[in-house]
Chain A
Amino acid sequence: MENYIEGVMQDATMAAAEFSQFTQEQTDEIVKSVFEAAFNNRVMLAKMAHHETNMGIWEHKVLKNVIASQLVYEDIKNLKTVGIINEDVESGIVEIAQPMGPILAIIPVTNPTSTVVFKILISLKARNPIIICPSKKAINCCSETARICYEAALKAGAPEGCIQWLTSVTREQTQELMSHKSLSLILATGGSGLVKSAYSSGTPTIGVGAGNVPVFIEKSADIPFSVEQIFMSKTFDNGTICASEQAIVVEKEIAEKVVEEFIKRKAYFLNDKEIVLLNNIAIDTKTHLMNPEIVGRPAFEIAQKAGIKAPQDVTILIAPIKAVGNEYPLSSEVLAPILAFYIVDNFEKAMNMCIDLNYHGGIGHSASIFSNNDEKIKYFAIHMNAGRICVNTPSSQGAVGGMFNKLSPSLTLGCGTGGKNITTDNISAKHLINIQKISRRRPNERFVRFDAALYLDENLKANEINELYNKNF
């Protein structure tokens, strides 16, 4: 078994060595070929993902595949990732892009084929071989996606072994792979346990954090528009995107109108008894984590499972609750068409509720506001610990980027140090290159002319040194 991992790593390392000699033009040809192959198979792969995982809605998975192929390709196709990528004569600094080497890509069950396509495109664009490690519940669709991409890459002249996929690996083998000395980076998109284990491997890791996205519909917002956007986002692939809305916060002044708009769209507001029934099946009372069995399932099916008599055409289950915390299970993240709903007295109370939600399992991820008051938007943003603050946009599609804003389209959303990540960026090809800097001599005149012996005089304080250091002659 050990030989299997060694073999995988040897192939990846050989591919990395060959890839390092490729020009920008050769690289771009490969990326284009992979994009086209993935895009042309978007429907088949979406259906396969839906069938295998029993999550989400296949039509929406098609759109996810489009985001991962068309939008990601559009975003990265002109990016310089080979050789000199930037040259500044004045500063004397020249930047050179180098590939990182073999990348291990952990793929989640919620967005399997799209994440495979996305990670392959950004890795190849940076001339890095990639090893796909799918969720056990999505092995077939991920393998088929990787195979299609690999075939297209080879046709365009990519090195053998530049894309590999693991069809059956044990936990021990995954650990072995993660800590292999030839592995350069782990792109860990998945649950907290897996991300933590990637971080613990000793290999540099770009991970993600959990979300718990609060949505503040501020009273200046266009209410029907806001509700429509939230509706579109929360029902997208049955809520499987980690940036999907989790809780709606509204000031009481506009609450009635908001409720009315949700009801128009066949959302079902639960009573207190029904909330308890939903709590029981949505969140594990011991771990306080969502129940995987309801992830990506339709609202009606979840209602039935909980014993709630909701109409058959129900779109979203909405739970009006009073506070945030483990004693209110639905204030936690649930990747399904379920929303918590809070009515508060005023702006300050709404802000506090959003902060509580943000810090209840979603630090660093994303937050959302609907408002036409720019000051309040900025105030909201400053008080959220979130990498992305989506304004007047559906948060699922907004945080992923490329559709309703100019964020880089990505299926790996950095959550900053709050989410135990190194960046809050939407991860893309630019994060997968090592940048060397040629730094030509451009002496700092003040430093060079300054009498360095003065630093040795401990009686000279900062202000005195500064005065001499900055003196004009």
Chain B
Amino acid sequence: MNKYVRNGGLLTCILSGKIDTLNSSVLENEINENMKEGITSIVFDLQEVDYISSTFLRIVIKIVKAVGKENFAITNVQPSVLMVFKIANLTEIVTVGQ
């Protein structure tokens, strides 16, 4: 179950499980619902995520384009997920941290 924590202008999305194509669509809707007025930056916490789909990667690209690289970060990635970001060449456009 994904959790969304708002702290001022920051929205932290604590995601969990396997983010496959189907879950990615659900996730996109949830993020859109939580993107209330005043949110200026977003963090994805992927501590509990062990699989990400290409659809999720596309959502990441969309968010970067919408809020800008400096206002978006991905944290707490597992090694297997970090590898996926590397293969997708996304670590150049998104801050992916441990």
Contact = CB atoms under 8 A, between A and B. Distances in A.
B80 interface: yes
Nearest to A21: B51
A430 to B, nearest CB: 21
B6 interface: no
B87 A20 contact: yes
Contacts of A101: 87
Contact of B84 (A11, A17, A161): A17
A144 interface: no
Contact of B89 (A11, A13, A18, A161): A13
Interface bin, chain A = 10 to 19
A13 B53 contact: no
Contacts of B54: 11, 14-15, 17-18, 159-161
B87 A13 contact: yes
A16 interface: yes
A159 B53 contact: yes
B85 interface: yes
Of the listed residues A14, A160, A182, the one surrounded by the most CB atoms of chain B closer than 10 A to its CB is: A14
B51 to A, nearest CB: 6
A20 to B, nearest CB: 5
Nearest to B90: A17
B57 interface: yes
Nearest to A12: B54
Contacts of A21: 51-52, 80, 84
Nearest to B86: A17
A90 B15 CA distance: 44
Contacts of B83: 20
Nearest to B51: A21
A5 to B, nearest CB: 15
A11 B88 CA distance: 9
B55 interface: yes
A96 to B, nearest CB: 13
Interface string B71-98: 0000000001001110111100000000
A317 to B, nearest CB: 52
Contacts of A10: 61
Nearest to B21: A160
A14 B80 contact: no
Contacts of B36: none
A347 B79 CA distance: 64
B95 to A, nearest CB: 17
B57 A17 contact: yes
B54 to A, nearest CB: 4
Contacts of B65: none
A21 B58 CA distance: 17
Interface string B45-57: 0000001111101
A160 B24 CA distance: 12
Contact of A16 (B51, B58, B80, B88): B88
A101 B88 CA distance: 10
B58 A14 contact: yes
A275 B68 CA distance: 71
Interface in A157-173: 159-161
A17 B88 contact: yes
A182 B80 CA distance: 20
B57 A14 contact: yes
Contacts of B55: 160
Interface in B1-33: 21
Nearest to A160: B54
A143 to B, nearest CB: 22
A20 B53 contact: no
B87 A17 contact: yes
A16 B87 contact: yes
A69 B53 CA distance: 28
A17 B21 contact: no
Interface of A: 10-11, 13-18, 20-21, 101, 159-161, 182
30 contacts: A13-B87, A13-B88, A13-B89, A14-B54, A14-B57, A14-B58, A16-B87, A16-B88, A17-B52, A17-B54, A17-B57, A17-B84, A17-B87, A17-B88, A17-B90, A18-B52, A18-B53, A18-B54, A18-B57, A18-B84, A20-B83, A20-B87, A21-B52, A21-B80, A21-B84, A159-B54, A160-B21, A160-B54, A160-B55, A182-B89
A-B complex: 9 closest residue pairs judged by Cβ atoms: A17-B88, A14-B54, A18-B54, A17-B87, A17-B84, A14-B57, A159-B54, A18-B53, A15-B54
Given A13-B88, A18-B54, 15 more contacts: A11-B54, A14-B57, A14-B58, A14-B88, A17-B52, A17-B54, A17-B57, A17-B90, A18-B52, A18-B53, A18-B84, A21-B51, A21-B80, A101-B87, A160-B54
